[in-house]
A = this chain, B = another copy of it.
Amino acid sequence: MNHRPVSTVGKSTNIAWHECPVGRLDRQKLLGQKGCVIWITGLSGSGKSTLACALSRELYSRGCLSYVLDGDNVRHGLNKDLSFKPEDRAENIRRIGEVAKLFADAGIICIASLISPYRRDRDACRALLPEDTFIEVFMNMPLEVCEARDVKGLYKLARAGKIKGFTGIDDPYEPPSNCEILIQQKDGLCPSPAAMADQVILYLDRNGFLQG
């Protein structure tokens, strides 16, 4: 009898790869769109969740299926065993990258919204995805703007020393060197949620993601 080949991956021994007859291209045809990961990175308060929601609404109005993986939300479930210490932050991002990859493979426009402050973690996620399907969106808002918003009251706590290792205050944010989309102020004004979403939609449209 022919045995399916088994191998070792990481700590998993004796595992095989099962290929199903319905694949990514079939699902994309069914949905009339192409799966990808829109990775929104930036400081707390820079507007990541706002963009994610505006974008999912705009995509929905065009009949496109998207799904938002929000860093905070995923910590309520899949990643609730992880803290904010450095190795756990890296693992948090790795797992979200792996899940985003599955969603993109399912044909979905997956919108991942998380601070993801270190370039190496984001680049590791990029490396998981087929070429050109990892779309990095950098929310390039000045720290003063984010801190003035302080939607969750976290900057105040960080300034008071009650949160340690807070990105932008006592932990660095490394801006992307090669992001696909840059969101920033114009003439000292922040773009509206709709304007930010349109900027991403334009990119998706021009690059063929909105058709199967």
Contacts and interface: CB of A to CB of B under 8 A. Distances in A.
Count of this chain's copies in the oligomeric assembly: 2
Closest 9 CB pairs of A and B: A10-B80, A3-B153, A78-B98, A12-B75, A11-B83, A67-B106, A15-B72, A20-B53, A77-B98
Interface in A18-76: 18, 20-22, 26-27, 30-31, 49, 52-53, 56-57, 60, 63, 65-70, 72-73, 75-76
Given A65-B106, A108-B106, A84 B13 contact: yes
A78 B65 contact: no
A30 B60 contact: yes
Interface residue range, chain A = 35 or more
Given A14-B157, A102-B99, A21 B72 contact: no
Contacts of A107: 65
A126 interface: no
A184 to B, nearest CB: 22
A64 to B, nearest CB: 8
A69 B98 CA distance: 12
A99 B78 contact: yes
A34 to B, nearest CB: 14
B151 A4 contact: yes
Nearest to A98: B78
A95 interface: yes
B154 A17 contact: no
B11 A76 contact: no
A68 to B, nearest CB: 5
A60 B21 CA distance: 10
Contacts of A56: 20-22
A30 B63 contact: yes
A20 B193 CA distance: 13
Contacts of A153: 3-4, 6
